[in-house]
Structure 1
Amino acid sequence: MGHDPVRFGIIGCAGIARKLCRAIALAPNATLHALASRSIEKARSFAAANGLSGAVKLYGSYGDVLDDPLVDAVYLPLPTSLRVAWAVSAARKGKHVLLEKPTAVDAAELDRILEACEASGVQFMDGTMWLHHPRTEKMMEIVSDPGRFGELNSINSMSMFTPSGDFFENNIRVKPDLDSLGALGDLGWYCISAFLWAACYKLPSAVSALPDVTRNSAGVILSCSAVLYWGSAHETAATFHCSFLAHVSMDFAIIGSNGSLHLKDFTIPIEEGSASFEFTPGAKFADLHIGWNVKPERVLVPTELPQEALMIREFASLVQGIRNSGCSPERKWPEISRKTQLVLDAVKKSIDGGCILVHL
Structure 2
Amino acid sequence: MATVTDTPIRIGVMGCAVIARTVSRAIDLAPNATIAAVASRSLEKAKTFATANGYQQSVKIHGSYESILEDPDVDALYIPLPASLHVEWAIRAAESGKHILLEKPVAMNVSEFDKIVAACEKNGVQIMDGTMWAHHPRTAKLKEFLFDSDRFGQLKNINSCFSLAVDEDFLKNNIRVKPNLDGLGALGDLGWYAIRAALFANNFELPKIVAASPGTVLNESGVILSCGASLSWEDGRTASIYCSFLANVGMEITAVGTNGTLCVQDFVIPFEETRATFTTCLKSGFNDPWVSRPTEHSVKTEIPQEACMVREFARLVGEIKNKGAKPDGFWPNISRKTQLVVDAIKESVDKNCQQISLSGR
Same fold (TM over 0.5): yes
Q: How does 1:66-145 map to 2 (within 5 A)?
A: 66-145=69-148
Structure-2 residue corresponding to 1:243 = 244
Residues 43, 58 of structure 1: 8 Å contact kept: yes
Per the alignment, do residues 170 and 268 of structure 1 end up closer, same or farther by CA in structure 2, a change over 3 Å counting?
same
Residues 96, 123 of structure 1: 8 Å contact kept: yes
Structure-2 residue corresponding to 1:159 = 162
Q: TM-score, normalising length from structure 2?
A: 0.97
Structure-2 residue corresponding to 1:224 = 227
Distance 2:11 2:213 in 1: 41
4+ runs deviating over 2 angstroms = 284-287
Residues 286, 293 of structure 1: 8 Å contact kept: no
Distance 2:293 2:169 in 1: 44
Per the alignment, do residues 165 and 215 of structure 1 end up closer, same or farther by CA in structure 2, a change over 3 Å counting?
closer
Residues 145, 152 of structure 2: 8 Å contact kept: yes
Q: Answer with 218-227 or 277-286: which moved more.
A: 277-286
1:29 aligned onto 2:27? no
1:261 aligned onto 2:262? yes
Q: Which runs of 5+ in 1 are unaligned?
A: none
SS at match of 1:53: coil
CA offsets 1:43-100 (integer angstroms, 9 cap, x no match): 1111121111111111110111110011000000000000110000000000001100
Quote how far apart the aligned CAs of 1:165 are: 6.0
Q: Which runs of 5+ in 2 are unaligned?
A: none
Distance 1:282 1:148 in 2: 8
Distance 1:317 1:241 in 2: 33
Q: Which amino acid aligns with 2:347?
A: K
Q: Which amino acid aligns with 1:262?
A: C
Distance 2:202 2:346 in 1: 21
Q: Which amino acid aligns with 2:144?
A: E
Q: Which amino acid aligns with 1:13?
A: C
Structure-2 residue corresponding to 1:60 = 63
Distance 2:326 2:314 in 1: 14
Residues 187, 243 of structure 1: 8 Å contact kept: yes
Residues 285, 293 of structure 1: 8 Å contact kept: no
Structure-2 residue corresponding to 1:170 = 173
Q: Answer with 100-109 or 43-52: which moved more.
A: 43-52
SS at match of 2:277: strand
Residues 158, 252 of structure 1: 8 Å contact kept: yes
Q: Please, which of 19, 23, 27 is the counterpart of residue 20 of structure 1?
A: 23
Q: Which amino acid aligns with 2:326?
A: S
Distance 1:324 1:142 in 2: 35
SS at match of 2:298: strand
CA offsets 1:276-316 (integer angstroms, 9 cap, x no match): 000001122555xxx62111010100011100000000000
Residues 117, 332 of structure 2: 8 Å contact kept: yes
Q: How does 1:273-312 map to 2 (within 5 A)?
A: 273-286=274-287, 292-312=290-310
- % identical equivalent positions: 54
RMSD: 1.1
Q: TM-score, normalising length from structure 1?
A: 0.97
Per the alignment, do residues 165 and 8 of structure 1 end up closer, same or farther by CA in structure 2, a change over 3 Å counting?
farther
